[in-house]
């Protein structure tokens, strides 16, 4: 299929599924960017929320990208540290965190990126509130779990803290500089002011205001909204810019301060997850060349380096509750557009 035809057909399919979800009351709205080469198209359906102060969904509306933070902030900063010789993917992390040895000190950055770290799979950080122990030290001080693949947020929380040590700067400033260099002017850690240009997430208590401009993830909220696993807000426009830059770097060389070698290694299967799917470094990869990551709030970024095609999806699917009805079908439609299984 020609690129132009693919772009039009994929955009129409996403628009149709989003409209069904909005009409059914499963989410208030959503946006997407569909692109390839020098062409891109934006889709916007519905509104940002049910509050009178909300506005229409649009390509420049900010959404909480949840776990896309892992691949939009932490992963590229890890890549910069690796390319700059500051971080070894296979070195024990206790080499970068003073005060050891720790029970989890042998964990490596590669293991965290592939979700095989054996760190505590429970993300809740309330147990550390009011204590005197540094969070990175506390995470490494806990006993390791049994071996195997398990999606764990704590590893990326830890990497965010290690990155701050390596570069001697706050994570939000480091990520902000990276995004600014890449032309992603709208992407930032929260908080953001409540406005029609920011999509609220979940109304956790009936009768109370929804989380709006502040991170939805509870652990990231305890960390002040800046964490290695969650906390970033972005727009469909910036997701498109990010996808373009990464695909270009994969094909041609350095971009985003990352070498093509690091990107290619990250987009190569490292650990099997299930049939036809594997974990690269941070990213999920399929045996037909699709690279992607999802976020709990209802966001996704899909790229197919071989064809240069990509889809960035932004919704606040948690706005009416955590069942996130219809989100699986929406993501399946996107995956199917690249020619793989839904």
Q: Order across the sheet with 63-64: list the strands.
A: 63-64, 232-234, 188-189
pLDDT at 49: 95
CA dihedral sign, ordered 16, 233, 306, 3: positive
Tokens of 104: 């989890």
pLDDT at 342: 44
Are residues 183 and 323 located together in one domain of the fold?
A: yes
Among candidate residues 145, 169, 193, the one where a domain is terminated: 169
Q: Is 258 inside a domain boundary?
A: yes
**Predicted confidence band at 234 (pLDDT cuts at 50, 70, 90)?**
very high
Are residues 301 and 186 located together in one domain of the fold?
A: yes
Q: Is 84 inside a domain boundary?
A: yes
Q: Is 202 inside a domain boundary?
A: yes
How many structural domains does the chain have? 2
Residue 199's beta-bridge partner residues? none
> Which spans in the chain are helix H?
3-23, 68-69, 75-83, 109-113, 135-141, 153-167, 171-181, 218-222, 236-252, 260-266, 327-337
Are residues 8 and 121 located together in one domain of the fold?
A: no
CA-CA-CA-CA dihedral for 322, 328, 334, 340, to nearest 10: 150
Cβ pair 159, 109 in contact under 8 A = yes
pLDDT at 340: 61
Could you tell me the residue range of the domain that residue 93 belongs to? 74-169
Q: Is 270 inside a domain boundary?
A: yes
pTM of the model: 0.97
Q: Give me the chain's average pLDDT, please.
A: 95
Are residues 158 and 288 located together in one domain of the fold?
A: no
Whether the predicted pLDDT of 232 surpasses 80? yes
CA 330 to CA 342: how far, in whole Å?
10
Tokens of 132: 């005197």
């Amino acid at each position: 299929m020609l690129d132009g035809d693919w772009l039009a057909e994929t955009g129409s399919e996403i628009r149709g599924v989003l409209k069904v979800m909005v009409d059914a009351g499963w989410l208030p709205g959503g946006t997407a960017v569909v692109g390839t080469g020098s062409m891109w198209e934006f889709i916007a359906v519905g509104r940002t929320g049910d509050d009178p102060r909300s506005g229409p969904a649009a390509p420049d509306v900010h959404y909480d990208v949840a776990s896309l933070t892992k691949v939009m902030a932490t992963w590229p900063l890890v890549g910069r540290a690796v390319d700059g010789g500051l971080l070894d993917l296979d070195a024990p992390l206790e080499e970068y965190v003073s005060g050891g040895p720790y029970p989890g000190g042998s964990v490596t950055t590669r293991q965290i990126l592939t979700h095989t770290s054996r760190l505590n799979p429970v993300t809740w950080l309330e147990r550390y509130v009011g204590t005197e122990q540094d969070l990175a030290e506390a995470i490494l001080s806990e006993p390791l779990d049994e071996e195997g693949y398990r999606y764990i947020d704590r590893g990326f929380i830890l990497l965010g803290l290690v990155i701050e040590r390596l570069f001697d700067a706050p994570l939000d400033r480091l990520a902000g500089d990276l995004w600014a260099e890449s032309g992603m002017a709208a992407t930032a850690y929260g908080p953001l002011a409540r406005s029609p240009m920011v999509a609220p997430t979940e109304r956790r208590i009936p009768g109370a205001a929804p989380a709006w401009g502040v991170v939805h993830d509870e652990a990231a909220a305890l960390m002040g909204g800046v964490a290695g696993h969650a906390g970033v807000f972005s727009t469909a426009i910036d997701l498109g810019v990010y996808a373009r830059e990464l695909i270009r770097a994969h094909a041609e060389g350095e971009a985003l301060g990352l070498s093509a070698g690091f990107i290619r290694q990250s987009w190569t299967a490292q650990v099997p997850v299930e049939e036809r799917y594997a974990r690269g470094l941070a990213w999920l990869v399929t045996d037909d060349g699709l690279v992607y990551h999802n976020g709990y709030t209802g966001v996704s970024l899909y790229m197919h380096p071989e064809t240069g095609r990509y889809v960035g999806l932004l919704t606040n699917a948690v706005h009416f509750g955590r069942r996130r009805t219809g989100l699986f079908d929406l993501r399946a439609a996107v995956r199917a557009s690249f020619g793989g299984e839904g």
